[in-house]
Structure 1
Amino acid sequence: MMVRGKTQIRRIENATSRQVTFSKRRNGLLKKAFELSVLCDAEVALIVFSPRGKLYEFSSSSMQSTIERYKERTREDIRRTTIELDAEQQNYEAACLTQKIKLLEASKQKLLGENLESCSTEELHEIEGKIEHSLHTIRSRKYQLLKDQISKLKQKESSLVEENALLHEKCKLLPPIPPLASKEVPPCSTLDQHSGVETELRIGCPGKGMTCK
């Protein structure tokens, strides 16, 4: 009994053999597509173009509707894949941000002098350097703010001095104020005579006529 050898899947160089093989396998493929649609109640659409560009097709229902269904399904798959990739990317970014927040929180606590038990000498030296650098930056900023405030106060002082000098010059240009006319006050006796008020002082028992002015 002669055993049939395994056919190598590669391009057939001989044009006649290639055409014969195409015709046989095309018919077999169309037959298999028909059998699959009937036996399994499947929607099957098959499109084949020959080497010369001739179209061969089979559709169990409608080729156009099957193609539209394929396009819609492809779009859904693309959307689903995109959503899944976006969700994975967001989860990855969220995990990275969570890890960064934990590291920053741990660094903040160490800068505040907390949870230093697990730190090595090198880590403590590094933390000390960061604190000194921060203090230098804070002091520099504070001195700059104080310098700016002093500069603004000096400008304000200079402006007030100039305004005061201007007012002083204006005062010099004003005419002198005349002195007020003084009024003489009449003596008490004259006032008593004109006012008609009795100013005698009577001392003694009533009715004895002892009088003292």
Structure 2
Amino acid sequence: MSVRAILTDIEGTTSSISFVKEVLFPYADQEMAPFLRRHWDTPEVIEQIQAARADSGEALADADSAATLLRRWIAEDRKITALKALQGMIWRAGYENGDYRAHVYPDAAQQLRHWHNQGHELYVYSSGSIAAQQLFFGYSEAGDLTPLFSGYFDTTSGAKQEPESYRRIQAAIGLAAADIVFLSDIEAELDAAREAGLATILLDREGAIADSRHPRVTSFDAIEL
């Protein structure tokens, strides 16, 4: 494989799924109502509440009613841009307060640094907001990894299982699709990326997938570009 840019997922790929499920989601759930009460009249929160009203059709007249809806979306693991943006605001406070550091697999941190030093462009594509992605890599257990990345993409580029999303990302990166490899632990996302012309690699960290339509590795160490 010969590529110029690496586009990577986060959960299950560079980082454990358990950190997001067991640390970040519960933290946002716990802090949603008090955060909205404190920041209800700020422009960035007003913008996302207006988007949540449009998505849900609900009035969301006050912080508590909005928090009830948003906490339900968290429980349902909904990939809604307004929710992701508000979660990112809450997570920023947690990171800055030192309440946690983001988990990154050591092999991922090492290879990302190596690829960056080799001159590869690195990008992130996750269902979490761009702000949340930057916080994640900025406050990671491996240190501040944000200088390694050339850009970030989230659901504003489209759903991760739709080929058109990867076409938009490819156009934004400005390279031929074949010059970009997408790394993910979800085969349906890889299918969409491949349909858009990107190279693909499946991260099967548990070694649980016996047969795949994509090249399969169990760690970043095994990836050859």
Interval of TM-score (by shorter of Structure 1 and Structure 2): under 0.3
TM-score of the superposition, structure 1-length normalised?
0.19
**Structure with the larger strand share:** 2
Which protein has the larger Cα radius of gyration, Structure 1 or Structure 2? 1
**Structure with the larger helix share:** 1
TM-score of the superposition, structure 2-length normalised?
0.19
